[in-house]
Amino acid sequence: MIAPDLETGAERLAGLVERSEAVVAFTGAGISTECGIPDFRSPGGLWTKHAPIPFDQFLGSQEARDETWRRRFAMDETLSKARPGRGHRALASLYHSGKLPGIITQNIDNLHQASGIPHPKVCELHGNTSYAACLDCGKRYELKWVKDSFDQSGRAPECVECDGYIKTATIAFGQSMPPAAMQHAEELATSADLLLAIGSSLVVWPAAGFPLMAKRNGATLVIINREPTDFDDIADLVIHHDIGDVLSRFIAD
């Protein structure tokens, strides 16, 4: 059912959380918009101005690698200033109360970890843009190192160990999904008795399959999103209101 208003939706959600033992959250861009992070896919979003650079182009030319890094550095002011919002803090409170075994996220902004949830409990389907790694040997690089190196040489640096290409630890278009994260997401989805799909339009696959997997496995499915989603019809509760407003009552501190 679609909640007729914010208060009714939030009350029903509180009842469902109360009765659940394993609440798993599946989060998308909508949970981070109140933190100042734009939804790249939204009209007027970054990706409507610059089409994302596909993975094969990144691999294929120095120019594409340089441009990818220039764009990442241009976003750094926004990304490094962002702090967890009410939705992140509410989920962190549920985690600390023992109710929430983990989060599956489409976001790359690191804000669930910044809210106090340990890194291994956050399953990042599309990676993390707050650090970088060598595509060949996996060596981790901090963004500051990449920026300093870029500023000195004028070009995207290569790995000091193996000369491999260094890229943010995100999954680019055309790059295969990370097997460990996919496995972790499946474990979380099938262990949930309540799945909260928050701030995702549920159109990006295979990520969107996890709420569906939870529902088919018997979990109660709640969708909290400003806009309607393709899964509204199968959800047990749909709340079309502001995520922070809906979730703020779960913030413990």
Residue numbers of the site for Zn ion (CB under 5 A)? Answer: 134, 136-137, 139, 159, 161-162, 164
Q: Which residue is catalytic, options 88, 126, 184, 240?
A: 126
Q: Exposure string (b/e) for 128-165, b if CB count within 10 Å is 16 or more?
A: bbbbbbbbeeeeebebeebeebbeeeeebbbbeeeebb
**For residues 133 and 207, which CB has a smaller minimum distance to Zn ion in the complex?**
133
3-class DSSP state of 236: coil
- Range 182-189, long-range pairs (CB < 8 A, 24+ positions): 182/125, 182/206, 184/102, 184/104, 184/123, 185/104, 185/123, 185/125, 185/210, 186/210, 186/213, 188/24, 188/101, 188/102, 188/103, 188/104, 188/123, 189/24, 189/26, 189/104, 189/213, 189/214, 189/217, 189/219
- In the annotation, is 88 catalytic? no
State the nearest-atom distance from the C-beta of 131 to Zn ion, in Å. Answer: 14
State the nearest-atom distance from the C-beta of 26 to Zn ion, in Å. Answer: 32
Count of residues in the chain: 253
State the nearest-atom distance from the C-beta of 142 to Zn ion, in Å. Answer: 15
**For residues 16 and 159, which CB has a smaller minimum distance to Zn ion in the complex?**
159
State the nearest-atom distance from the C-beta of 163 to Zn ion, in Å. Answer: 7
**For residues 65 and 89, which CB has a smaller minimum distance to Zn ion in the complex?**
65
**For residues 38 and 178, which CB has a smaller minimum distance to Zn ion in the complex?**
178
Residues 22 and 193: beta-carbon distance below 8 Å: yes
Residues noted as catalytic: 126
